[in-house]
Structure 1
Amino acid sequence: MTKRVWVKVLTADEKAVMGARCQQLIADKLKPLYLPEVRPTEFNYPVDMLGRWRGSKYSFIVRFRSGWPDNLGEEFDAGYARLDHVEESIQDLLFDVMWQRHTGQWWRQHAALTLDEALAEVERMIPPV
């Protein structure tokens, strides 16, 4: 006998609302606090902060530009926080707050938070700038 498991998938409208809230956090609080201006260096330096959806996960990203002579001007993205939708919660929209280790592996820092609680936790996390 197979066991049924009910999961809640994010709708396009929910993703749009959540993405707008995350973009607002980036624009209103994170960028002014951590990246008020771009300061070129001879090493890798941050030039932008942005967010991006990948499936049911929303990543907070810092874009870096290289100042090294051999790859001057090349850019790359480095994630520092991620909201993972908890699909097993069918009543509410809940998210796990994840942070990225130096190894590139994502680790859960907080489990099953509401969107407001999760965004408050992301606001407290210091990006690699």
Structure 2
Amino acid sequence: MAKQKKTWVYSPGLDPRARASDALKAEVERKANELIGTALTPKYVQPPPQNPKFNYVTGLSTKWHGRYFYFVATYACPFPDAASPTFEVNFARLEHTTVGRFNLAYLRHTGKWHQLFAGLTLDECLKSVRDDPWFQP
């Protein structure tokens, strides 16, 4: 078998403008947690049912991963043969693109992210997460 020749190729890194600053991350977390506390938790987190037949939402949270900011729902598994008593599912994703702009996506049933909006401000993204039915946990 012949030896393959190695070739060098240019591989650009991530756009440095897409890197979120610590101040922006703190602002996004503050506003998102405020939205969760005032609008989303009362709407989606209910007391456990008497005889649960399905998984149910027990809490909502947020987290950063790279340039992505996720809204996370924690579900309870009330069944005795469940692999884990709880699990987490990301249900909305903000992708930081440029200074002060985000792309907004939801997680489809196929496990793939589908981007609905591009180039929105933070307040526009949070309004969509609160009002649009695509972003329900």
TM-score (norm 2): 0.79
Unmatched runs of 5 consecutive residues or more in structure 1? none
> 1:16 is aligned with what amino acid?
A
Which of residues 22, 25, 30 is equivalent to 2:35? 25
1:56 CA drift (Å)? 1.1
Q: Give the Cα separation in 2 of the matches to 1:103 and 1:12.
A: 33
Q: How many residue pairs get matched?
A: 123
For 1:104, the equivalent position in structure 2 comes to: 111
Q: 2:69 aligns with which of 58, 65, 87?
A: 58
- Specify the SS of the correspondent of 1:70: coil
Is 2:46–2:58's contact at 8 Å kept on the other side of the alignment? no
Residue 121 of structure 1 is matched in structure 2 by 128
Between the aligned partners of 2:108 and 2:15, the Cα distance in structure 1 is 31
Asked if the contact 1:47–1:65 (Cα under 8 Å) also holds between the matched residues in 2, the reply is yes
**C-alpha deviations, 1:83-125, integer Å up to 9, x for none?**
1101xx3xx3100010000111111011110011111111123
Give the whole-Å Cα distance in 1 for the aligned partners of 2:49 and 2:56: 7
Mapping for residues 36-115 of structure 1, pairs under 5 Å: 36-39=46-49, 41-71=52-82, 74-86=85-97, 89=98, 92-115=99-122
Q: 1:21 to 1:33 in 2, by over 3 A?
A: same
Structure whose CA Rg is larger: 2
Q: 1:19, CA displacement in angstroms?
A: 0.7
CA–CA distance in structure 1, aligned partners of residues 122 and 60 of structure 2: 20
Cα distance, 1:30–1:118 mapped onto 2, change above 3 Å: same
Match of 2:3 in 1: none
Contact persistence 1:67–1:73 (CA under 8 A): no
Q: Is the 2:46–2:57 contact (alpha carbons within 8 Å) kept by the matching residues of 1?
A: no
Larger mean Cα displacement after TM superposition, 23-32 or 39-48? 39-48
| TM-score normalised by the chain length of structure 1 | 0.84
Partner-residue secondary structure (3-state), 2:81:
helix
* RMSD (Å), alpha carbons: 2.3
Q: CA deviation at 1:49?
A: 0.9
Alignment counterpart, residue 25 of structure 2, candidates 15, 27, 48 = 15
Please give the alpha-carbon distance, in whole angstroms, between the structure 2 residues aligned to 1:39 and 1:115: 35
